[in-house]
Structure 1
Amino acid sequence: MRQTVSTILTALVVLSLVAPATAGAAAPTPAGVGAADAGTAELGASPAMQADCSFPFSATDATGTEVTVEERPERVTTLNPSAAQTMWEIGGEEQVVGVSQFAFYLDGAENRTNVSASGFGVNNEKVVGTNPDLVLAPNATPVETVESLRDSGLTVFYMPEAKTVEDVREKTTLTGQLTGNCEGAAEANAWMTRNVDAAENATADAERPSVLYPLGGGYVAGSDTFISAMINASGGSNVAAERGLSGYPQVSDEVVVEANPEILLVQTEADGERYVTTEPYASTAAGEDERYVVVDQNYLNQPAPRSVVYAVRNMTEGFHPDADAAFVDRSEVQANATSNASADANAENDSSASTTDTEAAETTESTDGDDGATDAETTGTTTPGFGVTAAVAALVVAALAARRS
């Protein structure tokens, strides 16, 4: 089994290095998203202020192709679990008609068409058979698959690789614009940002433990990855990144021992128990202290809002058990959004009433022979808006899923 995992990971890591270069890995440039959208979302941000959700909507995807969605898509097919998770989080799950096999952990996903091919990859015929108005293809999807689906007449948007929390924000906002779920995307981003901020604030002055995420077969998660970003946001230090390793490199036992991580990041309790008692990990500080932190692979390996929240929560609590992080539930964000929406409506009504009163005053003063002049200038009431920005990880998901088989 170890040999199988090693072989799979080798192929996947090679693909992760080739796919972005082939695709150009250009960041998407959605119309209507300016510098203001690059800011951090605030808890309770007014969703309507976050992005333009009008159609037709056009944006340039990671292949450098300008993709136009003429109207809100009623049928959306997702080729990787991170895209499906994002659709669920922004309130677009009812639009989804096709998902990959690794998205079945989402409530109701098993009722959608499974578009996965046998083993790994996507079955193009199954995708076409879902009759989608839009196909969302995360970066782990081979470019050849995207081109083939486009040749079949489908509208496909190829997402850039998400390596940071900011990347996830941008991808979430963009997915909301492509599918007509801008308010849900803003709310998901506000929830995600508030929890990341809580983790960073709670661990700002704490000593950062050294962490290593072993993938099996000698592979680890280095810098310039979504996983490394989650470790950093949770108050940890990715020891592989500290040693100048990027992506998902294969390292020797000697390198692991020299790196001497204090904590291992794993997907299950069984994985943790196995690693800390197996060389080379048993000879590290993590092995000697039998210290590891468990994060569900669906949330550790998929760059999407729910993944960020749950992974950061688990890691922060595992890295810093005594930290008092003010994490918030999604319901709190929804309540704040509803409150803000009511405040916006009241402000608009007050503004209208104020304008009417001023007009009446102007009319009275004009009648009194003041030539229409008034000391009071009518000014519009403005409602504060909060800017928000809006896959390689799926490769890791596929490899780790193979370990379960």
Structure 2
Amino acid sequence: MNHRFAAALLVLVTVFAGVPAPVAAADQTAQCSFPMTVTDATGTEVTISEDPERIVTTNPSAAQTMWEIGAKDEVVGLSQYAAYLDGASEKTNVSGAEGLNVEVVIGLEPDVVLVPNTTYTSEPDRVNQLRSAGLTVVVFESGDSLGAVADKVERVGRITGNCEAGAERADEMRTSVENMERALEDVDQPVGLNAFFGYTSGSGTFISEIMTSAGLRNGAAEANITGWGQVNEELVVEMNPEYIVIPSHAPVPSGPAYNSTTAIQEGNVVVVDANNLQQPAPRAIDASETIMKAVHPEAFERYQELQNQSETTQTETTNTPESTSGEQDATATADEPQSTETSAPGFSAVAAVVALVLTTLVGRRR
């Protein structure tokens, strides 16, 4: 095992300990008023003087979030790993040969720089250089659940002056999770294993909840693996997963242990777009849907019906005159210190690990 890879994984798993708690409801209009002061994951009070128009995202899930709330036009710089997003080629690449390119970010003169905890943990000096240059930088913690990711989406919307869009997209995510739960009532849930390059996603990871929301039991979590960790052959045999979930850039695991599992013998390998599975951003819901469709096709049909009903209800509510700001208040969150979007809008720990694997072990990028 490459020592750089192992060390990076250890750092990233350690980072994923803190998650901001949900915050109380408050007036949504007040939430989006500027100047706005928030406290970020580093404990720094950050004041955003006015509605940002130029935003830099240092990792891809931050960019994905901005795209998903309809604010991609505000993004002027993004990571090389966000190149998959439509229109990303029109933005400036802020990735350098050895990480974040501080000079390029400063040259873009952004109003706000969104920094995930993985970037800050691996490159704190560079982030501090951005602050020393007078840039407004918000560092985010990581989320360990789809609910935390939805909260992050809402907070990113608020910080960037896109309150309504952020709240709407976050509520769509929450509704999707609820509809999955309803569709899967009384459905037996088989054991699943997320596998990538000899590692897996245990408890305390948003990928674990992507799997369980889709109707799988997370075998790694049940085997007391916390965070992202290695999975050995003995454990694979003992677990005998009925389904194996892999990101699209990872090979199907093989060898005697894996070949003995029900998943491999029955061809139950679910390949999920890595940009959906491994980034704590809105498209994580798409990852759950992919898994659910493969594992529980009948429940997935029920889920689609519930989704259609929810969309119809939302449309009717939106078009009803009585739908006033009072209803919006129920879904808004207060601008407490937790609201500093400390759920990393950027590369998830897993995605960072994969990037390092591809760079150091096989010499190619995602």
Report TM bin, short chain: 0.7 to 0.9
Q: For 1:141-172, what per-residue CA distance to the aligned partner results, in whole angstroms no more than 9, with x for missing partners? A: 12413222212211110111011112112111
Q: For 1:109-144, what per-residue CA distance to the aligned partner results, in whole angstroms no more than 9, with x for missing partners? A: 11111111225x311112112111100011211241
C-alpha separation between the residues in 2 aligned to 1:299 and 1:26?
20
Q: Could you tell me which residue of structure 2 aligns to residue 311 of structure 1?
A: 287
Q: Could you tell me which residue of structure 1 aligns to residue 336 of structure 2?
A: none
Does residue 124 in structure 1 map to residue 102 in structure 2?
A: yes
Displacement, 1:331? 10
C-alpha separation between the residues in 2 aligned to 1:61 and 1:336?
36
- What does 1:181-220 align with in structure 2 at a 5 Å threshold? 181-216=162-197, 218-220=198-200
Report if aligned partners of 1:221, 1:228 keep a CA contact under 8 Å in 2: yes
Displacement, 1:239? 0.3
Displacement, 1:400? 2.9
Report if aligned partners of 2:167, 2:332 keep a CA contact under 8 Å in 1: yes
C-alpha separation between the residues in 2 aligned to 1:127 and 1:244?
41
Q: Return closer, same or farther for 1:163/1:124 CA change in 2, 3 Å cut-off.
A: same
SS in 1 for 2:186: coil
Displacement, 1:317? 0.9
C-alpha separation between the residues in 2 aligned to 1:238 and 1:176?
31
Letter in 1 for 2:7: A
C-alpha separation between the residues in 2 aligned to 1:19 and 1:383?
36
C-alpha separation between the residues in 2 aligned to 1:7 and 1:386?
49
Report if aligned partners of 1:222, 1:246 keep a CA contact under 8 Å in 2: yes
C-alpha separation between the residues in 2 aligned to 1:328 and 1:98?
39
C-alpha separation between the residues in 1 aligned to 2:305 and 2:247?
23
Letter in 1 for 2:72: E
Displacement, 1:49? 5.3
Displacement, 1:341? 4.3
- What does 1:78-227 align with in structure 2 at a 5 Å threshold? 78-118=57-97, 121-143=99-121, 144=124, 145-216=126-197, 218-227=198-207
- What does 1:5-44 align with in structure 2 at a 5 Å threshold? 6-7=2-3, 9-19=5-15, 25=18, 27=20, 34-36=23-25
Q: Could you tell me which residue of structure 2 aligns to residue 236 of structure 1?
A: 216
Q: Could you tell me which residue of structure 2 aligns to residue 251 of structure 1?
A: 231
Q: Return closer, same or farther for 1:11/1:87 CA change in 2, 3 Å cut-off.
A: same
Q: Could you tell me which residue of structure 2 aligns to residue 322 of structure 1?
A: 298
- Bigger relative contact order, structure 1 or 2, given CA contacts below 8 A and separation 6+? 2
C-alpha separation between the residues in 2 aligned to 1:393 and 1:74?
23
Q: Could you tell me which residue of structure 2 aligns to residue 260 of structure 1?
A: 240
Q: In structure 1, which of residues 367, 375, 395 is the aligned counterpart of residue 349 of structure 2?
A: 395
C-alpha separation between the residues in 1 aligned to 2:263 and 2:120?
37
C-alpha separation between the residues in 2 aligned to 1:328 and 1:339?
17
C-alpha separation between the residues in 2 aligned to 1:186 and 1:311?
21
SS in 1 for 2:192: strand
Displacement, 1:187? 1.5
C-alpha separation between the residues in 2 aligned to 1:247 and 1:258?
20
Q: Could you tell me which residue of structure 1 aligns to residue 258 of structure 2?
A: 281
- Higher Cα radius of gyration: 1
Displacement, 1:195? 1.7
Q: Return closer, same or farther for 1:387/1:270 CA change in 2, 3 Å cut-off.
A: closer
Q: Could you tell me which residue of structure 2 aligns to residue 302 of structure 1?
A: 279
Q: Return closer, same or farther for 1:178/1:332 CA change in 2, 3 Å cut-off.
A: farther
Q: For 1:55-101, what per-residue CA distance to the aligned partner results, in whole angstroms no more than 9, with x for missing partners? A: 11111111111111110011000011111111111121111000001
Letter in 2 for 1:92: A
C-alpha separation between the residues in 2 aligned to 1:26 and 1:297?
23
Q: For 1:211-246, what per-residue CA distance to the aligned partner results, in whole angstroms no more than 9, with x for missing partners? A: 111121x22111101110111111111101001111
C-alpha separation between the residues in 2 aligned to 1:97 and 1:322?
43
C-alpha separation between the residues in 1 aligned to 2:108 and 2:80?
15
C-alpha separation between the residues in 1 aligned to 2:310 and 2:71?
18
Report if aligned partners of 1:72, 1:180 keep a CA contact under 8 Å in 2: yes
Q: Return closer, same or farther for 1:133/1:177 CA change in 2, 3 Å cut-off.
A: same
Letter in 1 for 2:350: V
Q: For 1:239-279, what per-residue CA distance to the aligned partner results, in whole angstroms no more than 9, with x for missing partners? A: 0100111111123211221121111101239833xx2x433
C-alpha separation between the residues in 1 aligned to 2:4 and 2:240?
26
Report if aligned partners of 1:226, 1:393 keep a CA contact under 8 Å in 2: no
C-alpha separation between the residues in 2 aligned to 1:208 and 1:187?
30
- TM-score normalised by structure 2 residue count: 0.84
Letter in 2 for 1:222: G
Report if aligned partners of 1:195, 1:328 keep a CA contact under 8 Å in 2: no
SS in 1 for 2:303: coil
Unaligned runs of 5+ in 1: 38-47, 349-380
Report if aligned partners of 1:168, 1:304 keep a CA contact under 8 Å in 2: yes
Superposition RMSD in Å: 3.0
C-alpha separation between the residues in 2 aligned to 1:133 and 1:330?
37
Unaligned runs of 5+ in 2: 334-338
Identity of aligned residues (%): 39
Aligned residues: 345
Report if aligned partners of 2:228, 2:350 keep a CA contact under 8 Å in 1: no
